[in-house]
Chains A and B, each alone.
Chain A
Amino acid sequence: MRKALAAVLAAALAAVPLLGAQEKAQEPAAREQRTAYLRRIFEKDRAGFGDACRAVLSLVQDEHTDADFEAVRKDLEARGIVEAGWDLRADSPLDRGTLAFMLCRALGIRGGLTMAVFGTSRRYALRECVHLGLLPGGTAGQYVSGRELIDALGNADLYREAGSTDSLRK
């Protein structure tokens, strides 16, 4: 019995580095340059927080950025677009509430009475973004796919230029 337990324990200990290796293998080998991240996002089922940070900073600066995640995050924190207390990594899945919060702060959307009184929260930022046509409906905790992120950024770009997300009217 002891031998069997020891064997199981040894097998479990041996599997830990393997799991770590699998996690490392999923990370991109090198930082993507220029538009490569855009094409990767298009193929992803779930967009990452790092992808959104990079795209939103590019949108705010009106210039594409290839800076690494930490630099981008610090820049966004300084601008008030990302909260310092968020425990999110570059590969953390992006949810609609977080994306809506970032878009509201980046585009200077003040929202309605609730947001004006209680401040920007993920829940009400999402409501505001749905109302303005920046994001499709859903819940604040729902994950965002790569393609939805691209559409949301396109809508945000349109909103920034024209003050409306309706691309059919001037």
Chain B
Amino acid sequence: MRRAIVLSAGLAWAASLGAQDPPKPAPAQPAPPREAIEATIVALKGTVDVKRPEDKDFVPAERNMKLKKGTEICAAVASSATLLFTGDVKVVVKALTQAKIEDLARQGGEVNADVNLKFGTIEVDIKKGDLKADMKVTAPNSTTSISGSLGWVRSYAAGGGGFLSIRTESGSWNHSVHGLGLDFPIEGAGLANDRGDLPGDLDYAFGTRTFLDFFGKHKDELYRGRWSIKAGDVHPWDLPFFEFAGTAPSSKKHRKAAILPPPPRPPFP
């Protein structure tokens, strides 16, 4: 009898332990199938050549030409091509640029695009839509991830592909440098520059970030009262001298009309 009680108590304890175990996660659903898509050339200017995977050499690009994964595109001087990856992702290949579409596919509600920029400049314009766009621009020494953005990426030909300039207007960007493990996230308007006006960039960053954090105002806004001339204002030397002189407070144009009549003349002649 005692054995039966001990056995039943042990079984009850084991059952309670089993009930306390967290529920097992449901088996993962299979990933949606990956479907290759094609980019379309929607606008052309000047001389642009493409080399599709089936082509032996570069051939002239044409409007409405379909470009699949593995296609190279090269734009000459004073030339450009606008590629539409999907309805929301537009890439403009600027003049003096060679790039390759490394990856272009749709997986579920996401579009994956990877453009390898050998040299030159591309403009990326991703609009928010039904599909989530995951785009990368790969240069020889760095990768830039983009989502929902408008911006420009330039890879310099000299320097072994180690130099890149990025200017963004919107969206989330992340510039990652290979080998160094450095990530430069950019939110909204910003810049990342490996070669350029470094003092200017530092001054811009200082004026934007530090002044905003500390004073709550941008540097330009803070000193607006003291330095009234802003970009775009007309300077004195932009006007002819007499026209400029005519704007002075003492000039005839600004002189106030006399309130009282002139004093009467003396009685004697």
Contact = CB atoms under 8 A, between A and B. Distances in A.
Contacts of B48: 35
Q: Which 10 A-B pairs have the closest CB atoms?
A: A147-B157, A64-B47, A58-B77, A147-B158, A150-B157, A35-B74, A64-B76, A168-B191, A35-B49, A62-B78
Given A59-B78, A157-B95, A34 B157 contact: no
B197 A133 contact: yes
Interface stretch (A36-44, A89-97, A110-118): A36-44
For chain A, what secondary structure do more than half of its interface residues adopt (helix, strand, loop), or is it mixed? Answer: helix
B216 interface: no
Interface string A111-155: 000000000000000000000010010000000011110110110
A154 B96 contact: yes
B96 A157 contact: yes
A151 B156 contact: yes
A34 B58 contact: yes
Centre residue among B47, B120, B166 by max chain A CB count within 10 A = B47
B202 to A, nearest CB: 13
Given A154-B96, A157-B96, A166-B200, 7 more contacts: A36-B58, A39-B74, A58-B76, A64-B76, A146-B157, A150-B158, A167-B167
B138 interface: no
Nearest to B167: A168
25 contacts: A34-B47, A35-B47, A35-B48, A35-B74, A36-B49, A38-B96, A39-B74, A39-B98, A42-B98, A42-B118, A63-B78, A64-B46, A64-B76, A64-B77, A147-B157, A148-B158, A150-B96, A150-B158, A151-B157, A157-B78, A157-B95, A167-B154, A168-B196, A168-B197, A169-B167
B172 interface: no
B193 A168 contact: yes
Nearest to A154: B96
Interface residues of A, number: 28
Interface of A: 34-36, 38-39, 42, 55, 58-59, 61-64, 133, 136, 145-148, 150-151, 153-154, 157, 166-169
B58 A153 contact: no
Contacts of A136: 158
Centre residue among A42, A148, A151 by max chain B CB count within 10 A = A151
B81 to A, nearest CB: 11
A168 B165 contact: yes
B75 interface: yes
A36 B16 CA distance: 76
A145 B156 CA distance: 13
Contact of B119 (A55, A147, A167, A168): A147
Nearest to A166: B197
B78 A145 contact: no
Interface in B121-176: 121, 152, 154, 156-159, 165-167
Contact of B58 (A35, A64, A133, A151): A35
